[in-house]
Every structure is written in structure tokens, then in C-alpha cells.
Amino acid sequence: MKYKYLFLSVFLALIFVFNVKAQGVEIADDCLPITTLPFMEGFEGETFPPLCWTRHGDNTQWERNTAIMRSGLASAGIQIQVGGGSGWLVTQPVTVPDDGGHYVLKFWSFVTGGFEGSQPNTTVVSVSTEGNDDISTFEQVKSLTNEERPANTWREIIVPLSDKYAGETIYIGFMYQGTMMQMGWYIDELQIEEMSAVDAELVSIIAPATGTHGALTDGETVKVLWYQSSHRLREHMELLRTAKL
């Protein structure tokens, strides 16, 4: 009888262990699309690429970089090795809402040597609706302009997503190709979020209290609240203006 209970205990313990292990595996492999926005990735975790992301390359690969970062302790970066090369870093799946909102990809970009490097380099953002394993399924949505990649300077890049991908589950790929050793591309503070479709808009008129500026008297101050959608933090700002009639 004693052995019977011992066997039962061991059996139940094994079930527990395997069950926990199975659940762990299930969570790790279950790369369900992100559906709650904003989605943010700052490459602060030591796992790289981040869970459910992929990378593809020859002798050049995207790595977590702790020397050049926009914020925190790290960015994602790729640096060309001897002989040149190219590499892709691809996000986990993200579903772009189909609710009439204007959803964008935002990230900060830093190009070593900029576009003025002595050898050409390519900095491209592409999207696939099929997966993050096969780079042949990706379609280019953005190639950084020369103005967007000055040498060794962080720049915020904004890529509209809703026009083409509303309602779709997408994978976003960052591809860098170069021929000159030590040149590279770094990205940080990646976000997918909703933003206003216009550059700037009036939020409210604080003064005059009537909320209208149609009958200004000379010298009256109009105080409005507005935000600039291209501003990363969408800070509300006050504008003071005096009518001159």
C-alpha cells in the first residue's frame, strides 16, 4: 500500500512537471499578433532579437547594441563586416486596427556615416502580411531619404500604416545593406500607435471664454490649445496671440 501511494505521488508530480513544461513551451511558441496599441520596443531586454522577432542576414546581422542608443541602455543595430552585406530585423506580428484611425510606425534612426558615406548603403522598411520567416514576401513601404539620414544623428521616422494595412496583421522588416565596413544602421524607440492625420490641429479655445474668435477687439488676447501630431509626445501647447485690427 505504501508503494502504491509513493507511485501515485511520483506520477502526479510528473504530470505537474510536464504540464508546467508544456505550458511554458506553448507560451514561448505562441507568437500571437499584438492587438493592443500602442506597441513599443526599445530593445532594453537582453534577449535579441526580442521574443517572436526574427533576423536574417549573411555575414552581417542585427544585434543588440549598447554603445549607440536613443534612450535606455540599448538599441538594435547592424554593422557591416568585411566584404559588405545585408541584414533584416523583423518584428512580431501586429494587427493594424480597422477603426478609421490613422496608425503609424514610428522609430528613431541613426545611420553611421549617413548617406554621405563613400559607399552606397540602403536603409529600407518593408512589410509582409504573410510572416517573418521569408523575406521574399516583404513589400517596401519606406526608403529613408538623404535628409532623413544625416551622419551620426538620431532622426525620428514616421511611416503611415492605415492606408494599406488597416485590418491586416503585419510584420515590419528593417533592411540595411552596405558595402563599407563599420558603417551601420541603428534603430530605437520603435512604436506603433494612432496619431492625428493632420500635422497640427486646434484642440480648444480657452480665451475668450465664448470659444469664438470671430469678434475680436483690438488688443484682445486669444489663448488656444493645440497639438502638433508630429511631436512624439503630443504635448499640448498654448499659443498667445494678440489681434491687430
Here the cell at position 155 is 532622426
Q: Does 42 bind Ca ion (CB under 5 A)?
A: yes
DSSP string of 111-126? ETTGGGSSS-EEEEEE
Applying CB under 5 A, among 110, 188, 191, 195 the residue interacting with Ca ion is 188
Please identify, among the stretches 31-39, 70-78, 195-203, 209-217, the one whose residues bind Ca ion according to the rule CB under 5 A.
Answer: 70-78
Q: Choose one: 41-49, 95-103, 144-152, 199-207; the region binding Ca ion (CB under 5 A).
A: 41-49
Name which of 43 and 176 has its Cβ closer to Ca ion. 43
Q: How far apart are CA 75 and CA 33, in angstroms?
A: 23
The size of the interface with Ca ion (CB under 5 A), counted in residues, is 5
User: 168 phi and psi, to 5 degrees?
Assistant: -95, 150
Range in contact with Ca ion (rule: CB under 5 A) among 54-62, 71-79, 151-159, 176-184: 71-79
Q: Is 45 in the site for Ca ion (CB under 5 A)?
A: no
Please identify, using beta-carbon distances, which residue of 43 and 185 lies nearer to Ca ion.
Answer: 43
Binding window for Ca ion (CB under 5 A); candidates: 39-47, 86-94, 133-141, 217-225: 39-47
Among 24, 38, 45, 72, binds Ca ion (CB under 5 A): 72
SS3 content of the chain, % helix, strand, coil (to 5): 15, 40, 45
Rounded Cα distance, 240 and 225, in Å:
9
Q: What is the DSSP string of 34-86?
A: B-SS-EEE---SSSSSPTT-EEEESS--EEEESSS-SSTT-EEEEE--TT-EE
Residues that bind Ca ion (CB under 5 A): 42-43, 69, 72, 188
